[in-house]
Amino acid sequence: MYADLRRRRRIQHMRERVEMGLRLTIALAVLGVCGGVYAQGPAVPSVLPGNGLAQHDFMYVGESHDRNIFIVRGGKVVWSYSDPAGKGEISDAVMLSNGNILFTHQFGVTEITPDKKVVWNYDAPAGHEVHTAVPIGKDRVMYIQNGDPAVLRVVNKVTGATEKEIQLKTQMPPSTHGQFRHMRLTARGTVMVAHHDLGKVVEYDSNGNELWSFPGNGSWGVTPLANGNVLITDHTGVREVTRRGDSAWSWTPADAPGYKFSNLQNAWRLPNGNTIINNWENEWELAPKDIVGTLQAIEVTPDKKVVWALASWTEPAKLGPATTIQLLDGPAMEDAHFGEFK
C-alpha cells in the first residue's frame, strides 16, 4: 500500500509541476518575457551574501527521504532528528517554548522532546494525510487532515478528546495529497488556510465560517502579519496582500537574477521588515547534482535586495531540501488562540 501511495505522490507532483509550468508560461508570454518555471539561473555563486548559517538561529525542516529536522544556533547544527526508517515527509514543524517540536509527517502528527522522546502522536487513517499542524496553548493542537472529507481538527493532547472538527472544501474529485500544505493562526483567533488544490487562501473563524479569501496559483504557504496583511506563497512567488485584496508587496525569483529556484513554499516577515523565503527541491525527482545548484533560503529587504542566501548542501551541515524555517528569537508559537480555544 505504501508503494502505491508513493507512486500516486510522484504522479501528483508531476501533474502539479506540469500545471505550474503551463500557467507560468502563459503568464510570461502575456508579459512578453521569455523563461520557464522559476527561471533556472546558474549554480549558486561561490560567495553568498550574508553570514551563512550564522545569519539567524533557526529550526530547519525539509520534505526529504529521511525526514530530518535541524536546529542551528551560532552558525552550527546543535541538534538534529532523523527518521530514515519511517515513511512520509515532514511538511510542517513548530518548535515550542519548552523545546519540544510538533511536526507533521504526511501520515500523522508527532510531538517530541529535545531528547527525542515522543510525548504525543496521532496516526492518520488509511487514505488520509496530515501536512500542517499548529499548537494552541500548551494542551491543544490543531491540524488539517487531507482526505474525503478533509477536516480541520482541534485535539486536546491531555484528554485525547477532539474538541472541534470543521469540514473543509476541496477540489472534486478529491486528490488527497494535493489538498493542503500550510495553515497559521492569526492574532484575532482565526486561521488562515492555504487551499493548494483550490488555488486560494481562506480565513476561517472557529465555527468554520469563511471570513476572507484571496486567489493564488497553487497556494502553498500563508503567514498572517502583525499589520493585518497576509503573506502568501504560491507558484508565482510571494505576495503581501491587504484585507481589501490590494498588493502591498511582492517578490518573484525574477527579482533575484543569478540564483536558482524551483519550489517556493513558505515566507516569513522579520521585525526589521525583511522577508525570508525558502526554496524546496524534490529529492524524489532530481539527482543530487541537480539539487545542489539551488538555494535553500533567501532573505530580501523591502526593496528586494538580497542580504542572505543559504545553500548548505554538504557536511558538516548538510541540511537538505527546505520546506519550512522557524527563527528561534520570535514569539512562542503556542501563544495563540482559535476562537474559544486558548
- For 228-256, write each residue's pLDDT tens digit: 999 999 999 999 999 999 999 999 999 99
The DSSP secondary structure of 80-136, one letter per residue, reads: EEE-TTS-S---EEEE-TTS-EEEE-BSEEEEE-TT--EEEEEEPPTT-EEEEEEEE
SS3 of residue 339 by DSSP:
coil
pLDDT for 2: 38
d(CA 234, CA 240): 12
d(CA 292, CA 314): 9
What residue ranges do the domains of the chain occupy? 2-327
pLDDT band at 43 (very low <50, low <70, confident <90, very high): low
pTM: 0.85
One-letter amino acid identity for 302? P
Give the DSSP H/E element, type plus range, for residue 20: helix 2-31
- Going edge to edge, which strands form the sheet with 238-241? 221-224, 230-233, 238-241, 247-251
pLDDT band at 64 (very low <50, low <70, confident <90, very high): confident
pLDDT for 23: 39
Cell of 127: 487514505
pLDDT for 161: 97
pLDDT for 42: 55
d(CA 296, CA 280): 6
Name the phi and psi angles at 52, rounded to 5. Answer: 60, -135
Higher pLDDT, 222 or 293: 222
Rounded alpha-carbon distances, angstroms, from residue 182 to 53, 200, 205, 218, 247: 25, 12, 16, 12, 21
Superfamily of domain 2-327: TolB, C-terminal domain (2.120.10.30)
Tell me the pLDDT of the chain averaged across its residues: 87
> Of 40-49, 148-157, 279-288, 328-337, where does mean pLDDT reach its minimum?
40-49
